[in-house]
Copies of this chain bind each other. A is one copy, B any other.
């Protein structure tokens, strides 16, 4: 994809300073840009790179005043960061738009329907009785079981696995290797110490604008639904157990795990490698620091918690500071014990 600087400036409603007929074919950070790249300068911290960069063009602010010589052509706009983000989004949309059509061989079962303008990659599988919306992309080797519903503009990346009966909304993204709807981990202990599987006949619902990271697993409900609510974003390698609910616009970082039947509120932030036990209720806007362990429900909104078990973020930091000095603390205690022994003897 190649554009002249003038074409780019036109898209951004910016003005050109320098040779606008030069061609750019790549977006790059100003500190890494080479010939042919378009970069941007927003944060003052990066200004020195402008004077050394090989970038062919740099987007800068309307009123930016260079202090040294530079070689790039400038594109002046109101907000360089925003302008660059717009270009990034258009670039990504352009790439995605190119993926259309049906590669062969691919598989689709009886009574399944697909909307307009969809992509079905080679070796992708769609079961029976599925309803797939418009502009959906199903990448190669993705698996969609039976009775699955997928809304418009959703992307299922290569090798993602969607079990039967799952409901996925509009504008969702499911990354490679993610598994949606595997059996909940439910086993009834038997008198002889063995376990008997409890059938898991529920499903999973991903509402609109949900993002599921690579190799993340969302188990189906025992009965009813495991639900990921609108706009929630899940990173990679996350475990969501059966009958969990994740609230709207909640963000969960990589390798966190939520145990069965726990309900996470809206606008929560759950950091990496956090573990939350089952059957809890977590209030809206709760945030948990990395590696926290959560074993109790949180009723009050907006708390920042940390530690395993998790408690107030700052109190945890204070306890950890003492933890590092525990050997000295113990030594001071021993010294006190000796002194008191001496004092007591002297007194007698």
Contact A237 B235 (CB under 8 A): no
- A193 interfacial by beta-carbon distance below 8 Å: yes
Are the CB atoms of B213 and A217 closer together than 8 Å? Answer: yes
Number of copies: 3
In the complex, which residues of chain B have a beta carbon less than 8 angstroms from the beta carbon of A333?
A: 329, 332-333, 336
A contact residues vs B (CB 8 Å cutoff): 27-29, 32, 85, 88-89, 91-92, 103, 105, 107, 121-123, 125, 139-141, 143, 145, 157-159, 161, 163, 173, 175-177, 179, 182-183, 185, 187-188, 193-195, 197-199, 201, 209, 211, 213-215, 217, 219, 223-224, 231, 233, 235-237, 239, 241, 248-249, 251, 253-255, 257, 259, 266-267, 272-273, 275, 277, 290-291, 293, 295, 308-309, 311, 315, 318-327, 329-330, 332-333, 336-337, 339-340, 343-344, 346-347
Contacts beyond the supplied A32-B224, A185-B236: 17 A-B pairs with Cβ under 8 Å: A27-B223, A85-B199, A91-B199, A143-B158, A157-B182, A175-B182, A179-B214, A194-B231, A215-B215, A237-B239, A239-B255, A255-B255, A257-B272, A275-B290, A275-B291, A308-B308, A318-B326
Q: What are 7 A-B interface contacts by the 8 Å CB criterion?
A: A28-B223, A239-B255, A239-B272, A272-B275, A273-B275, A319-B327, A333-B336
